[in-house]
């Protein structure tokens, strides 16, 4: 699979998308030199960090990717991890949670070692479930979530929808990361 770089017209559109996102998030646009085989080529990034997370939106001409990682890295407790809509081999989230998927209205996958009870406790909590219900998952290609990380790859439909989704995914991660939700 050959790595494809954006055309000059694609870069102009990507820069325009990134500028609009940055303005809405009260942030700035930076060049993104990182290229990952199999992921959308996003020549620009918009930082949207919090005290606890490195939160970045990668922007292309037609997609955006939300990446957030806990600043403590592997020292942050993950407690569980899931992928939404489809399994994701990179995170070993291949075990389909059928009951939870039916209840939420979209497919949920976790690892073989994660407790189904922990996943259910977190995703159906009174603070998390309403956020999940407000997400528009139709343009999303990849959605991975744990208490220490989120990764979302989505089609760029329009600016208002994109900004709304960025805020919702950020709120979801910050809510999941709070230790008040416990499985004890």
Residues of the domain holding 117: 8-177
With cut-offs at 50, 70 and 90, classify the pLDDT of residue 74: low
Of residues 3 and 117, more confidence is placed in 117
Helix, strand and coil content of the chain, in percent to the nearest 5, comes to 35, 25, 40
Residue 33: per-residue pLDDT: 76
Residue 183 lies in a domain: no
Residue 3 lies in a domain: no
Residue 127 neighbours by CB distance under 10 Å: 14
Q: How far apart are CA 118 and CA 138, in angstroms?
A: 26
Domain count, the chain: 1
The 8-class DSSP code of residue 128 comes to: T
- The residue whose two tokens read 């528009």 is 136
pLDDT at 21 over 70: yes
How many CA atoms lie within 13 Å of 130's alpha carbon, on the beta-carbon side? 4
Residue 182 lies in a domain: no
Q: Are 45 and 35 contacting, i.e. CB atoms less than 8 angstroms apart? A: no
Residue 170 lies in a domain: yes
With cut-offs at 50, 70 and 90, classify the pLDDT of residue 45: very high
Residue 2 lies in a domain: no
Over the chain, what is the mean pLDDT? 88
List the helix and strand counts (H, then E) for the chain: 5, 9
Element (H or E) spanning 95, and its range? Answer: strand 95-96
How many CA atoms lie within 13 Å of 50's alpha carbon, on the beta-carbon side? 17
Residue 21 lies in a domain: yes
Residue 35 neighbours by CB distance under 10 Å: 12
Residue 73: per-residue pLDDT: 66
Start-to-end C-alpha separation, the chain: 46
Residue 179: per-residue pLDDT: 61
Residue 1: per-residue pLDDT: 43
Phi and psi based region of residue 121 (left: phi greater than 0; alpha: psi -120 to 50; beta: remaining): alpha
Residue 81 lies in a domain: yes
Residue 144 lies in a domain: yes
Residue 10: per-residue pLDDT: 82
Give tens-digit pLDDT for 137-169: 999 999 999 988 999 999 999 999 999 999 999
Task: Name the 3-class secondary structure at 108.
Answer: strand
Indicate the pTM of the whole model: 0.88
Contacts of residue 94, defined as CB under 8 A and 6 or more positions apart, other chains included, come to 87, 109, 111, 112
């Amino acid at each position: 699979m050959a790595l494809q770089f954006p055309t000059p017209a694609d870069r102009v559109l990507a820069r325009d998308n990134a500028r609009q996102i940055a303005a809405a998030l009260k942030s700035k646009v930076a060049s993104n030199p990182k290229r990952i085989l199999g992921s959308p080529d996003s020549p620009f990034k918009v930082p949207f960090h919090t005290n606890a997370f490195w939160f970045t939106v990668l922007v292309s001409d037609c997609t955006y990717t939300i990446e957030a990682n806990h600043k403590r890295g592997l020292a942050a407790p993950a407690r569980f991890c899931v992928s939404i809509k489809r399994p994701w081999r990179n995170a070993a989230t291949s075990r389909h949670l059928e009951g939870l998927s039916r209840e939420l209205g979209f497919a949920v996958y976790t690892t073989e070692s994660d407790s189904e009870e922990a996943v259910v406790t977190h995703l159906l909590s009174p603070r998390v479930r309403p956020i999940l219900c407000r997400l528009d998952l139709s343009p999303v290609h990849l959605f991975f979530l744990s208490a220490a990380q989120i990764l979302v790859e989505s089609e760029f439909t329009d600016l208002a929808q994109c900004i709304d989704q960025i805020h919702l995914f950020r709120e979801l991660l910050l809510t999941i990361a709070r230790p008040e939700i416990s499985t004890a």
